[in-house]
Amino acid sequence: MADIIKLLPDHVANQIAAGEVVQRPASVVKELLENAIDAGADSIKLIIKDGGKNLIQVIDDGIGMSPTDARMGFERHATSKIQKAEDLFRLNTKGFRGEALASIAAIAHVEVQTKPEQDEMATHLRIEGSEIKFQEVCVAPKGTSMSVKNLFFNIPARRNFLKSNQVELRHITDEFHRVAMAHPNIAFNFYNNGSELFNLPKANQRQRIVHIFGSKTNEKLVPVNEETQVVKISGFINKPEFAKRSRGEQFFFVNNRFIKSPYLHHAVLAAFEGLIKSDSYPGYFLYLDVDPASIDINIHPTKTEVKFDDEHTLYAILRSTIKHSLGQFNVVPALDFDQDQNLETPYNYRDKNAVQPNVSVDRAFNPFQEVANSTKPAGTKSYKKQNTEGWENLYVGLESKVGQDDGFSSVKFESESNTGSFFESHQESLESIATTFQLRRKYIVTTIKSGMVVIDQSRAHQRVLYEQFLKNITVNEAVSQQLLFPLQLSFSKSDIDILKEIKDSLTSIGFIFSHINGEEVRITGVPPLVSESEVGMVLDQLISDFQLQVTEDSFSQTDILAKTLAKTLSVKTGEVLNNTSQLALVNDLFACKESRWSPFNKPVYVTITENDIDKKFI
């Protein structure tokens, strides 16, 4: 039998490795930013065009590379971070496997300009599909500039699976946030299609968080600090009243590396137990410093999942630390730097005692007594009634006769004509046909000819609102309720971009925006179903859903918008509905085009026939 196992060519192996390392443009951004940080850069610039499909450029002022290192960096498993296997347990750098640049060069056009500080000339290198096109000497400043163009140019199937530019830009922005928050001592600039999105100067942790997520974030943060032999915890958590109904601002950093850990996330939720609602999620920015030998960060290609040696101890320390910080927040009053200075005691009167004012009272004053003109002050009116004639006439004819005990027997009521017999009988027939009652504050039970129907009240209301919002957005006949005072809301820059993207759809259902600028949003009108207190919650949920889901066209945008509004504004489990509301919900549900399933493809009601009930008694 002939031999059939053969070694793969290098370019094929690199493309296969690229499938693990490079999933989308955001993966390239992550690898290049981490390389710039490992190079000791003090300032990093990120330049994006067309969602990263046509250009991703990272410019840093790090140590640079020699001509030999510039070529070696694109070989598979070539790295300067580790020398032996034991180094894997003492990692203090970002990239260490030596696959990132080789994988990127296999599926894109890469151009590098790099210069160490001690060299006079820089190295210019161009690679296309793992093939070096040319290498020459050029003039460039200290550091490295790496450009990745035409991503997936030689793998059309992968390029076709990329999402729209807006969606890819959101993923890039998420990666940028994670790297920038982990390294506040480095200045970052982010440019998209020639416009600056972020300009982050060097700062501390709190300032970096505020610069990214907006100035209003500062009042939400509660500091967290704890140092033990196992772990050092620092960072911030959001106050309980700012908990959101979506998983938004939740970040874990271990040794300045962003990670995802459901186990540690559960520790944070356990610390907030009893302080927030069960369907709400707290925001947190937590930095954990542990011994590099106690974690394994090489269990996932993107290195976002790590394995701890002693997770149970870490869980207990994190939970108790957050509880302690929440306790301090509840006990210690917050300093209010925006307090009105006019309400404070002036310095000259700070040490003086209060003087009781003198109050003079005329104890002889009687408003029902005529006061002599000589003693009455000028301009004072007399309170004595001048004319009392005729008051006796009020009681004429009301004298009671002794011996009469008939009471109201002589009173006759006007007979009412019976004109509503048709409506009364019709109402009785309706009530006899559609008898409803609420079960466990969750289900509505109503009767039909063949038995009864058990309806999930929350899912039923979601279906009704979903079709109503879809109709309003499509037909563009929404009614708006004007606000007496405009509503001011603050969002981060990335959230503002999403609001601008879906502004037209929001306007078609009743939202009226007077302006969206910077971090401020002013709303002058809302849909009738949305109360003023719910506007911020609804918009937060909308932004979160648009970040998590793909919005390729206007139809998907409309669908996500209608689903989010229906889910947020629907009747929840546990709410008490009176008989009129129950009957109205049942009628509205069965008037829908698709009443059996909720907008999220879950059953709305079940039918129990009379035969099913009879079988239970056999």
Summarize pLDDT for 15-72 with one digit per residue, the tens.
666 666 788 899 999 999 998 998 899 999 999 999 999 999 999 999 999 998 888 8
Asked whether 520 and 488 are in contact (CB, 8 A), the reply is yes
User: For the chain, which domains are there?
Assistant: 10-200 (3.30.565.10), 205-330 (3.30.230.10), 437-607 (3.30.1370.100)
Each residue of 63-81: pLDDT tens digit? 999 998 888 888 877 776 6
Strands 221-227 and 195-200: unpaired
Handedness of CA 212, 215, 216, 217 (dihedral sign): positive
pLDDT of residue 423: 40
Helix crossing, 165-182 with 205-213: angle to 10°? 160
CA quadruple 37, 195, 142, 135: dihedral, nearest 10: 100
Low-confidence ranges of the chain (pLDDT < 70): 1, 11, 14-20, 80-98, 298-303, 330-351, 370-434, 476-477, 548-555
Quote the pLDDT of residue 156: 85
Q: What percent of the chain shows pLDDT beyond 90?
A: 35
Q: Does pTM top 0.75 for this prediction?
A: no
pLDDT tens digits for range 605-617: 999 998 998 888 9
pLDDT in tens, 498-539: 888 888 888 888 889 988 877 889 999 988 888 888 888 888
Residue with tokens 């137990």: 273
pLDDT score of 360: 79
The angle, 0 to 180 degrees and rounded to 10, between the axes of the packed helices 535-548 and 554-569 is 140
Query: What was the pLDDT predicted at 4?
Result: 80
- pLDDT, tens digit, for every residue of 241-256? 888 877 778 999 998 9
CA angle centred on 179, ends 174 and 181, rounded to 5°: 95
- Which residues neighbour 459 within 8 Å (Cβ) at sequence distance 6 or greater? 598, 602, 603, 604
pLDDT of residue 300: 63
Task: Supply φ then ψ for residue 586, to 5 degrees.
Answer: -65, -45
